[in-house]
Amino acid sequence: MTASIHPRFVVKVGTRVLTDDEGELNLVVLRSIVGHIAQAMAEGAEVILVSSGAVGLGRRAIGLPPGPSDTPTRQACAAIGQSRLMAVYESLLQAHGVCCAQVLLSQSDFDNRKRYNNLRNALSTLLKLGVLPILNENDAIATEELEFTQQRVFGDNDKLSSLVASELNAERLVLLTDVDGVYDKNPFKHDDAVLLTEWGGDAVDTTAEAGAGRGGMASKIEAARIAARSGCVGIIASGRDPSALGIALAGGRIGTRFTPKGALSSRRRWIAFAAVSRGSLTIDQGAVDALRSRGASLLAKGVTSIQGPFRAGDVVDLIGPNNKVVGRGIPRCSSEEAQLWAVGQAPESKQPLIRRNYLVLEEE
């Protein structure tokens, strides 16, 4: 996809930013965020907003207290709250002459390559038309995002925002939270917590108190890391600081910055971050070394075990001899056929099982 001639930003706003301590919508904060976005758009930028908050607004509308509840109740709250959330955004944006569009997404929109590309095309067109797309998980029907499960493409809107920033070739992803950035330990519990202005892969304490939001700092760090690996600057900053978003969008230093270190191709970004793994291949140390040091393709002879079932074209995890994920890739055959390849009983056994350009390694 051709990069936009306009600067392109993705802004993610979480529930803890949008609401006050009583769970009420914080209109002061919201007006400030909308104002900064409108200003950036007036100066020629293209902006995508990823916003949580629908479930919380739905709870308030029917008098339910904050906190965990069963999935059908959360679905109902999402359905009630989403229209209210968009009505608030529409009202605030109209004052700046900005048109907005609602886009609700589910896991399958990212896992399916065709739908993934359709999403990119739709968002690109909205941006060209000068519209602000407002994205959220489709929580009313996408129960995998509501059930707090481990196996999903994205949890909360943090990773969703990083996938969108990655696929839309955004220059900057700004993740707004209720603290000033990433600290070496929980700032709510430790007075001596230190803000990390530049992410360097540090070991940090990401534990947090339970609250209205679901992402937590761990998912924001992961989202910012995905953005940086895709060639996008990731920034985690305070959404309650009225100046923070404006500084971040203007290119100033604020919060914690994740600096890009190269960029993966569109296909490899999809393999690495967007698709659900359908199985795994355990590989020996020789294969791991060949992949890492020589940039080789994966040969079937380096595979020691196969877990499936998966089909040709599915994404699978690559597991090293220490039982640690070393990468992901797309095999050229099904799990049943791969079994034959691995023992040399297929004519193609000496050919790469996964070609290099269909393979992405984890960062060491």
- pLDDT of 364 reads 56
* Averaged pLDDT, 51-56: 88
Tokens of 275: 């698709």
Tokens of 27: 């209109």
Q: What is the DSSP string of 317-328?
A: EEE-TTS-EEEE
Is the same domain home to 187 and 38?
yes
The secondary element (H helix, E strand) that includes residue 40 is helix 27-42
Is the same domain home to 94 and 187?
yes
Is the same domain home to 106 and 15?
yes
C-alpha to C-alpha distances, 325 to 196, 277, 282, 283, 360, nearest whole angstrom: 28, 12, 9, 10, 11
Q: Are 140 and 75 in contact (CB under 8 A)?
A: yes
CATH number at residue 102: 3.40.1160.10
Q: Which residue has the tokens 């070394």?
A: 289
Is the same domain home to 234 and 301?
no
Q: Is 362 exposed, middle or buried (0-12, 13-18, 19+ CB in 10 A)?
A: middle
Residue-range definition of the domain harbouring residue 90: 8-268
Q: What is the DSSP string of 326-356?
A: EEEE--SS-HHHHHHHHTT-STTTTSEEE-G
The one-letter code for the residue type at 40 is: A
C-alpha to C-alpha distances, 47 to 78, 289, 357, nearest whole angstrom: 24, 41, 31
Q: Which of the given ranges, 59-73, 212-226, 234-248, has the highest pLDDT on average?
A: 234-248
Q: In this structure, is residue 156 part of a structural domain?
A: yes
* Averaged pLDDT, 242-271: 91
Note the pLDDT tens digit of each residue in 323-337: 999 999 999 999 999
Is the same domain home to 244 and 283?
no
Helix (H, G, I), strand (E, B) or coil at 8: strand
Is the same domain home to 228 and 307?
no
Note the pTM of the prediction, 2 decimals. 0.86
Helix (H, G, I), strand (E, B) or coil at 193: coil
The CA radius of gyration of the chain, in Å to the nearest whole number, is: 21
Note the pLDDT tens digit of each residue in 288-322: 999 999 999 999 989 999 998 999 999 999 999 99
Is the same domain home to 239 and 113?
yes
Q: In this structure, is residue 3 part of a structural domain?
A: no
Q: List the 303-307 sheet strands across, edge first.
A: 303-307, 280-283, 316-319, 325-329, 359-361
Q: How many CA atoms lie within 13 A of 149 on its CB side?
A: 11
- pLDDT of 75 reads 87
- What's the CA gap between 109 and 153, in Å, rounded? 10
Note the pLDDT tens digit of each residue in 199-231: 987 767 666 543 344 458 888 999 999 999 989
Q: In this structure, is residue 1 part of a structural domain?
A: no
Note the pLDDT tens digit of each residue in 141-162: 765 544 433 344 455 689 899 9
Q: How many CA atoms lie within 13 A of 142 on its CB side?
A: 19
Strand segments (E) across 144-185: 172-177, 182-183
Is the same domain home to 134 and 223?
yes
CA 323 to chain centre: 25
CA 199 to chain centre: 17
Is the same domain home to 170 and 283?
no
Is the same domain home to 215 and 352?
no
- Give yes or no for residue 281 having a pLDDT over 80: yes
- pLDDT of 216 reads 80
- What's the CA gap between 9 and 165, in Å, rounded? 7
Q: What is the mean pLDDT of the chain?
A: 87
CATH number at residue 318: 2.30.130.10
- pLDDT of 235 reads 97
Is the same domain home to 299 and 231?
no
Q: At residue 73, what are phi and psi to the nearest 5 degrees?
A: -65, -40
- pLDDT of 147 reads 43
Number of domains in the chain: 2
- End residue of a domain, out of 244, 268, 292: 268
Taking residue 131's Cβ as centre, other Cβ atoms within 10 Å add up to: 17
Phi-psi map region of 90: left, alpha, beta (phi>0 left; psi -120 to 50 alpha): alpha
| Contacts of residue 216, Cβ cutoff 8 Å, sequence gap at least 6 | 156, 206, 208
Is the same domain home to 132 and 229?
yes
- What's the CA gap between 165 and 91, in Å, rounded? 26
- End residue of a domain, out of 246, 268, 290: 268
- pLDDT of 227 reads 93
More confident residue, 71 or 220: 220
